[in-house]
Amino acid sequence: MQRLKVAVVGVGHLGKEHARVYAELPGVELYGVVDIQSKQAEKIAQQYNTRYFTNYKEVLDKVTAVSIAVPTKSHYAIAKEFLQQGVHVMIEKPMTGTVSEARELIGISKEKKIVLQAGYIERFNPTIVAIKKLSINPRFIECHRLSPFTFRSADIGVVLDLMIHDIDIILHITGSKVKKFDAVGVNVISDKEDIANVRIQFENGCVANITASRVSLTPMRKMRLFSEDSYISIDYQKKEALIYKKSPELTLKSLNISEMDVSTIADLRSYVFGDLLKIEHIKMDDYEPLKKELESFVDCVVKHKEPVVSGEEGLKAIEVANDILCEIGKNLKLSRIPGMEDKK
């Protein structure tokens, strides 16, 4: 059976990992890697025994599929050329910098009947895969995604750099349209927002509060989901998820502390979290999310299937992110109006 020829365009921090995974996947030939930094391209090519190029146009007619992991500002132009050539495309998040660009790429992929997959790796995180199977109906979601400033994504702000992961996951879990939101952002190091917070209200009544920062000392990727009968705590980095379920007997009426056989706060905590609230580790498979993501992409290409995170799914996240950026821009302008701080 002929192996699927794949190239990786952009082999920096993330792209080099794409190259590694493709080199390991059965049925895949890593035809070559592309990077404008020739030394980096050569280094990765030697590491995985493949060719290297400094111009993506050199592989346009040589491969069947491609991963694009260049800065966001170049996503659209490069992806468009590959799609027009009939090459299946996997683009790292965000798919494009604008809504119109994303829609055009989707249109080309539909016309050519080829795969366009958006690279939202958290969709393949075992914690998300596991909780999605629980069919939960969250009423409130809280997310914190914090990271040190890396200078790798200086062409975009923290909303498109980090927050968009959580936007995509929340849209995926709620399955509802956005009703309204409030957003604020602050420039700290770059000329774009480096810290942002948004509160989103969905049409189904769920509310989500998302905080993203790329000027934090310690990385954090956590999510909490609250429903009527349970609470789920997720740590993406540890690939760990806990579910807190209340006992059927737990009501305000039944929770009479004066009648409990407890003498200390520790005893009370033990009683509540032992007898009334059950804490369980959510069972999940242990695997590398990126490998699972690229395996899925290859499978969709080979079997002509719709990807887990299609171009349309990528577009939904970009549309919400774009609206958030507009709101942040409005609030920044208001905060800079002379005398505005004195008005109550």
What's the fold here for domain 4-120+289-324?
Rossmann fold (3.40.50)
Question: Side chain identity at 232, as an amino acid letter?
Answer: I
List all residues 6 or more positions away from 247 whose beta carbon is below 8 Å from its beta carbon.
Answer: 275, 276, 277, 278
Q: Where are the domains of the chain?
A: 4-120+289-324, 124-251
Name the percent of the chain lying above pLDDT 90.
75
pLDDT higher than 70, residue 273 = no
Q: 4-120+289-324 with 124-251: one CATH topology?
A: no
Q: What angle do CA 310, 311, 313 make, to 5 degrees?
A: 65
| Confidence band of 276 (pLDDT split at 50, 70, 90) | low
List all residues 6 or more positions away from 17 whose beta carbon is below 8 Å from its beta carbon.
Answer: 290
Measured CA distances, 144 to 8, 50, 64 (Å): 31, 39, 38
Q: Tens digit of pLDDT for each residue in 291-306? A: 999 999 999 999 999 9
Which tokens hold the place of 221?
């990727």
For 124-251, the fitting CATH number among 3.30.360.10, 2.40.50.140, 3.40.50.2000, 3.40.50.1220 is 3.30.360.10
**Residue of 155 and 243 predicted with greater confidence:** 243
Measured CA distances, 212 to 136, 186, 220 (Å): 24, 11, 10
Cis ω before 248 (30° cut-off from 0): no
Q: Tens digit of pLDDT for each residue in 49-98? A: 999 999 999 999 999 999 999 999 999 999 999 999 999 999 999 999 99
Cross-strand partners of 281: 242
- SS3 percent helix, strand, coil of the chain, rounded to 5, is 40, 25, 35
